[in-house]
Amino acid sequence: MLRRGKDRASVLVNFDVDRSAVEAARRDPRAFEALYRKYVAQVYSFALYELRDPHAAEDLTAQVFLRALDGLPGFREQGEAPGSSFRVWLFQICRNAVSNERRRVRRHPESPLDLALEVHSGDDVQAEALDREQLAQAWRQIDLLPTERRQALVLRFVEEMSTREIGEVLGRSEGATRVLIHRALQTVARQIGRGSDVPRH
Amino acid sequence: MFPDTDDAAIQADAYIDALLIGHRRVPVSLPETEALLTRQAGVRDTIRLLEKGLPRFHPSFLFEEWLADQLHRKAAGDHDAEAHGQVVPITVIRLPHSPAGRVPDRRLLVGGAIASGVSIAGAAMIAWRRSRN
């Protein structure tokens, strides 16, 4: 029975927006294409930010989706866990693949990520140049962050995931993830000379 | 010295949420969340910088279509195998009373009518009875 009035607002709903697409793909794997089209850019972006090489990012994207297609029948249990979702599961696969790839290559990508800096965002050339310089500095600092902090920032700003989702991808609580991201931001702010925060007393 | 408390993290998180929601053209009261960060100007500016400066990349059209094709082939293969049956090798379990060598190694057709666990159990029973004769 539906509750009316104030009670309705207090009902928490864990709803995976991809549930119907996942069900369809489970019934007929050919329907997996809808999920692939929806998430290909997100997976590719994460891989690119982590590996810094478009070809390696493409290889990893292919691995992730092929594994996801293979593993879809086993996704049921996880999908029924509170707050879990197909996207979280996909990024867990992606994160594992990145970590395997890094172990295989046995080196951290050395080239700075200048792909992002090539993107022009506005008409104000001067402001844009300043932003690009600061962004380049920020990237150098993000690059030096521990893996989890760096990945959390990419998941938050590029993939636009919620802190709860990021926590699930990283295997941390929501609160711990929030603090992780905050610390990463503080580190970057301090290093790029924007660390003029007022201490609390 | 920077504030590093749950409160500070929650405020920063709310500000990021407000900025990201703005990407979806949903009206949001940005100044309200921004005001929460008056004591964290450095974090606020960094959030703004990253929010503007980190784009999402799309793979090349060629790659996207190539992978779509790979997935489609794999999915169609899986689907056909499920629908029409596929010969897969299985290990035959030797039952306690079956004399060694009496149960011939065999392959089982999985799919269609005998894909269910009940049918597999039935097939095992037949194999066992044949081995007793």
Measured between CA atoms, how close is B27 to chain A, in angstroms? 17
Residue written as tokens 């997100």?
A: A42
- From chain B, the residues in CB contact with A135 under 8 A are 49, 53
Cβ-contact B54, A114 below 8 angstroms: no
Please, which residues bridge with residue B89 across strands? Answer: B107
CB–CB contact B13 A163 (8 Å): yes
Residue written as tokens 């929650």?
A: B10
CA pair distance B73, B55, nearest whole angstrom: 32
Domain-located, residue A2: no
Report the candidate in A185, A103, A116, A119 with the shortest Cα–Cα distance to residue A152: A185
Tell me, yes or no, whether A104 and A18 share the same domain. Answer: yes
pLDDT digits (tens, 9 = 90+) for A40-82: 999 999 999 999 889 999 999 999 999 999 999 888 655 455 5
CB–CB contact A66 B63 (8 Å): no
ipTM exceeds 0.85:
no
Domain-located, residue A5: no
Cβ-contact A181, B13 below 8 angstroms: yes
CB–CB contact A158 B4 (8 Å): no
* Structure tokens given for B92: 């035959």
Provide the domain count of chain A.
2
The mean-pLDDT minimum among A123-127, A193-197, B19-23, B113-117 falls in B113-117
Among left, alpha and beta (phi > 0; psi -120 to 50; other), residue B25 is left
The mean-pLDDT minimum among A6-10, A37-41, A97-101, B88-92 falls in A6-10
Cβ-contact A28, A72 below 8 angstroms: no
Tell me, yes or no, whether A121 and A164 share the same domain. Answer: yes
pLDDT of residue B86: 56
Tell me, yes or no, whether A116 and A172 share the same domain. Answer: yes
Domain-located, residue A8: no
Where in the sequence is the domain holding B35, given as residue range(s)?
A: 6-53
The tally of CA atoms less than 13 A away on the side-chain side of residue A41 is 11
For chains A and B, CB pairs below 8 A equal 160
* Structure tokens given for A191: 């290093």
CB–CB contact B75 A33 (8 Å): yes
Tell me, yes or no, whether B128 and B83 share the same domain. Answer: yes
Neighbour count for residue B46 (Cβ, 10 Å): 27
Closest chain A CA to residue B6: A179
CA pair distance A181, B46, nearest whole angstrom: 12
Tell me, yes or no, whether A117 and A170 share the same domain. Answer: yes
Tell me, yes or no, whether A36 and A105 share the same domain. Answer: yes
Tell me, yes or no, whether A164 and A187 share the same domain. Answer: yes
Pick from A125-139, A160-174, B80-94 the range whose average pLDDT is largest: A160-174
Q: How confident is the model at residue B101 (pLDDT cuts 50, 70, 90)?
A: very low
Of A83, A109, A135, which marks where a domain is finished?
A: A109
pLDDT digits (tens, 9 = 90+) for A161-195: 999 999 999 999 999 999 999 999 999 998 887 66
pLDDT digits (tens, 9 = 90+) for B44-80: 999 998 988 888 899 999 999 999 999 999 998 876 6
Residue A13 predicted with pLDDT over 70: no
Where in the sequence is the domain holding A80, given as residue range(s)?
A: 14-109
CB–CB contact A200 B39 (8 Å): yes
CA pair distance B19, B34, nearest whole angstrom: 10
Domain-located, residue A96: yes
Q: For the full predicted model, state whether its pTM sits above 0.95.
A: no
Provide the domain count of chain B.
2
Domain-located, residue A144: yes
Closest chain B CA to residue A185: B43
